[in-house]
Amino acid sequence: MGLYFVSARSVFLTEPNLVNISQATAPAAIIAAGMVLLLVSGEIDLSVGVVAALAPFNMHYLIDYYHVRALPAIALVLLISAGIGLVNGLITVVLKVPSFVTTLGTLYLVTGILLTTSHAYPAPIPEPAGGAIASWFGAADWAQLIWCLVIVVTLHIVLTRTRWGLHTIAVGGNLLGASEAGIKAGRIKIGNFMLVSTLGGLAGILEAFRIHTIDPNIGGGTTIMFTAVSAAVIGGTSLAGGSGTVLGAFLGALVLAELQNGMNLIGISANPYFLILGIAILVSMIANVYLSRLRRAGRA
Amino acid sequence: MAERAGGEALRVEHVAKHFGGVTALRDVNLRLAKGEVLGLIGDNGAGKSTLIKIICGFHQPDAGQIFVGGEEVVIKSVDHARSLGIDTVYQDLALVNELSVYHNMFLNRELVRWPLLSNRRMRALARHHLEDMGVHIPSVDDEVAKLSGGQRQAIAVARSVYTDARILLLDEPLAAMGAKEGALILDLVRDLKARGDVSIIIIAHNFGQILDVCDRVNLLQLGAITYDKPTTGTSVQELTDLVVAEYRAARTQRAGQAPGKPAPRARPRRR
């Protein structure tokens, strides 16, 4: 597909456009990377997009109203995001509400908090968070991509090479069996909820610095959440839990961004984007189901 | 208390368990010698799984005592039972299909060189241990999903033994298994018996093959052990008759209450 767009428009491979693609990929890929771990552990988070939208506002409140310095404020924002993940996790694990419903609730709850506190008006980036901090946290051309790559590689290693990852797979693959073996399944799930939410907060902050404004409607919301889930699913992660890859989700996010970008460049309207997205999800899910059936059939 | 070889592994005395108004176990007395293989049989609802769940720490008994290695213990949880060396192997619940054989072998007891897993060491140890126990699988790298039911069961048993289980409870190990698959498990039980340091209780529904490997057989009926004999002194036929007799008694009673129902068929012919 990339090749097609390259041949259709020489602009596709220019540096500004590659920056464009990287910036369109990164926030969704960052969230998708965490989403993969959560999905593999057998849960989902629908609220992460609005957590992303809320994060820069929290930064704005903390710096402009409470006079917290920029870096501690950003750290605090990530902590608050993690706290929302903790709430999602506790409701799901302790009260046994399905995560789809839990996070649907927190999705609206956080949206309400966001719109009420911001009066649905955009805010400027706080003065103390300008300059180098802004550059590091997303304003510089490649900043988002660097964050994204570091996170994707780290979480890929976490999922494939650490106890946390192994237990995440075990909990999603066989909850009862994993608990039988003494794995604290609740802790694994809650941890992954917190991971996704924290990454959501980070993605929201990166986006705010990139577009140089804090806007309740841009840089977060359900769109980025759905893009992240789509990226994970296209990358081969099972919604039923137990299997998935972070690198796959990254490629999924890249494909989606490239698709949208390429369609813009060749001048067709972005509306069919959703058509193609829908087909891509269906085809990859059907392939996924079919392949895993083949794999199972191959057993001795 | 120090134990000598051939001593007692487990003793259950006067154990009772009620769930609300339902009596699951009335008065169970059971003993298991070190290195012994005991077959526990009984019909559905006789209380087999309740008894097993008490021994493995999942339920706490309402009355009675449990002795492990001659010492009285109050088993508080599954983890506690495990720390006493008691482990249960369930039919198909124990393994994670999505993980490799060696990751399953070390599930929650992974070897780690922080922050990463020591995959190479786990792989080598798992391979070695499985060979040691005579469990043959194509590769320890395979996902468990690719293996047959018998192989999975064997791996679950091997895992329990590897993690120092000294009293193994096998819950219906041969259910839904072909003859070849079953033979794999029976051979494994025989090998364990030969080692002498593991005592095993096999819960069985169909006792044919099981009796081959058991030293003794207990029949659980209506919440109590009603029959206890060495396998050399009994036969499949006798056990079948015992279980069927209970059913017939109940049925005759029903038939008596409700005339017009068909009379019970003739008893199966004795050998």
Measured between CA atoms, how close is A252 to chain B, in angstroms? 22
**Cα–Cα distance between A249 and A29 in angstroms, integer?**
7
User: What pLDDT score was predicted for residue B255?
Assistant: 65
Residue B2 lies in a domain: no
- Chain B residues lying within 8 Å of A173, measured CB to CB: 96-99
Query: pLDDT tens digit string along A62-73?
Result: 999 999 999 999
User: What pLDDT score was predicted for residue A114?
Assistant: 95
By the 10 Å C-beta count (0-12 exposed, 13-18 middle, 19+ buried), A247 is classed as middle
Residue among A147, A153, A126 nearest A56 (CA): A126
**DSSP β-ladder status, B86-89 and B167-171:** parallel
By the 10 Å C-beta count (0-12 exposed, 13-18 middle, 19+ buried), B271 is classed as exposed
Residue among A73, A208, A203, A62 nearest A134 (CA): A208
**Cα–Cα distance between A195 and B96 in angstroms, integer?**
23
Question: Is A177 close to B96, i.e. CB distance below 8 A?
Answer: yes
Is residue A294 within 8 angstroms of chain B, CB to CB? no
Q: Residue A232 corresponds to which amino acid?
A: A
Choose among A161, A173, A299: nearest Cβ to B117.
A161
A125: DSSP letter: P
User: What pLDDT score was predicted for residue B261?
Assistant: 44
Residues 6 or more apart whose Cβ sits within 8 Å of residue A155: A33, A34, A36, A37, A246
**Cα–Cα distance between B249 and A126 in angstroms, integer?**
85
- Chain B residues lying within 8 Å of A170, measured CB to CB: 96, 98-99, 107-108
Instruction: Indicate whether B55 and B157 sit together in one domain.
Output: yes
Instruction: Indicate whether B245 and B173 sit together in one domain.
Output: no
User: What pLDDT score was predicted for residue B187?
Assistant: 86
User: What pLDDT score was predicted for residue B266?
Assistant: 47
Range of the domain at B167: 8-233
Instruction: Indicate whether B245 and B206 sit together in one domain.
Output: no
- Chain B residues lying within 8 Å of A245, measured CB to CB: none
For CA atoms A115, A116, A117, A123, the dihedral sign is positive
Query: pLDDT tens digit string along A275-300?
Result: 888 887 788 778 877 877 776 665 43
Predicted complex: ipTM over 0.90: no
pTM above 0.95, yes or no: no
**In chain A, whose CA is at the least distance from the CA of B106?**
A181
| pLDDT grade for B271, boundaries at 50, 70 and 90 | very low
Choose among B103, B146, B151: nearest Cβ to A298.
B146
Residue among A61, A59, A81, A82 nearest A72 (CA): A59
Measured between CA atoms, how close is A22 to chain B, in angstroms? 30
Instruction: Give me the CATH topology for the region A2-293.
Output: ABC transporter involved in vitamin B12 uptake, BtuC (1.10.3470)
Question: Is B94 close to A180, i.e. CB distance below 8 A?
Answer: yes
Residue scoring higher pLDDT (A137 or A277): A137
- Chain A residues lying within 8 Å of B145, measured CB to CB: 295-296, 299
Instruction: Give, rounded to a whole angstrom, the gap between the first and last alpha carbons of chain A.
Output: 38
- Does position A43 have pLDDT exceeding 70, yes or no? yes
Domain count of the fold of chain B: 2
Domain ranges of chain A: 2-293
Instruction: Indicate whether B229 and B182 sit together in one domain.
Output: yes
Residue B3 lies in a domain: no
Query: pLDDT tens digit string along A6-32?
Result: 666 677 778 888 898 999 899 999 999
Tokens linked to B50: 């309740």
Choose among B95, B103, B119: nearest Cβ to A174.
B95
Instruction: Indicate whether B228 and B240 sit together in one domain.
Output: no
Give the DSSP H/E element, type plus range, for residue B64: strand B63-68
Instruction: Give DSSP secondary structure letters for B204-243.
Output: ESS-HHHHHH-SEEEEEETTEEEEEEEGGG--HHHHHHHH
Query: pLDDT tens digit string along A176-199?
Result: 889 878 899 999 999 999 999 999
Highest mean pLDDT among A143-147, B165-169, B215-219, B256-260: A143-147
A244: DSSP letter: -
Choose among A157, A173, A182: nearest Cβ to B99.
A173
| pLDDT grade for A1, boundaries at 50, 70 and 90 | low
Instruction: Indicate whether B165 and B245 sit together in one domain.
Output: no
* B58, B83, B92, B107, best to mutate vs chain A, most A CBs in 10 Å: B107
Q: What is the domain-level CATH number for residue B93?
A: 3.40.50.300
Instruction: Indicate whether B190 and B251 sit together in one domain.
Output: no
Query: pLDDT tens digit string along B65-122?
Result: 999 999 999 999 888 998 999 988 876 667 999 999 999 999 988 999 989 999 999 9
Query: pLDDT tens digit string along B14-50?
Result: 999 999 889 999 999 999 999 999 999 888 778 888 8
Query: pLDDT tens digit string along B210-268?
Result: 778 899 999 998 889 988 988 888 888 888 888 788 777 777 776 655 544 444 454 55
| pLDDT grade for A262, boundaries at 50, 70 and 90 | confident
* B89, B96, B105, best to mutate vs chain A, most A CBs in 10 Å: B96
Q: List b or e across A46-83, with b for residues whose CB sees 16 or more CB atoms inside 10 angstroms.
A: bbbbbbbbbbbbbbbbbbbeeebebeebbebbbebbbe
**Cα–Cα distance between B3 and B190 in angstroms, integer?**
23
What value does the mean pLDDT take over residues B141-169?
A: 87
Instruction: Indicate whether B44 and B114 sit together in one domain.
Output: yes
Instruction: Indicate whether B254 and B122 sit together in one domain.
Output: no
Q: Could you give the angle at the alpha carbon of B68 between the alpha carbons of B65 and B74, nearest 5°? A: 45
Residue B271 lies in a domain: no
**Cα–Cα distance between B11 and B14 in angstroms, integer?**
10
User: What pLDDT score was predicted for residue B260?
Assistant: 45
- Chain B residues lying within 8 Å of A181, measured CB to CB: 94, 107-108
Is residue A293 within 8 angstroms of chain B, CB to CB? no
Instruction: Indicate whether B180 and B255 sit together in one domain.
Output: no
User: What pLDDT score was predicted for residue B10?
Assistant: 95
Instruction: Indicate whether B213 and B256 sit together in one domain.
Output: no
**Cα–Cα distance between A155 and B218 in angstroms, integer?**
52
Instruction: Indicate whether B179 and B251 sit together in one domain.
Output: no
Is residue A300 within 8 angstroms of chain B, CB to CB? yes
Residue B117 lies in a domain: yes
| pLDDT grade for A36, boundaries at 50, 70 and 90 | very high
**Cα–Cα distance between A192 and A169 in angstroms, integer?**
12
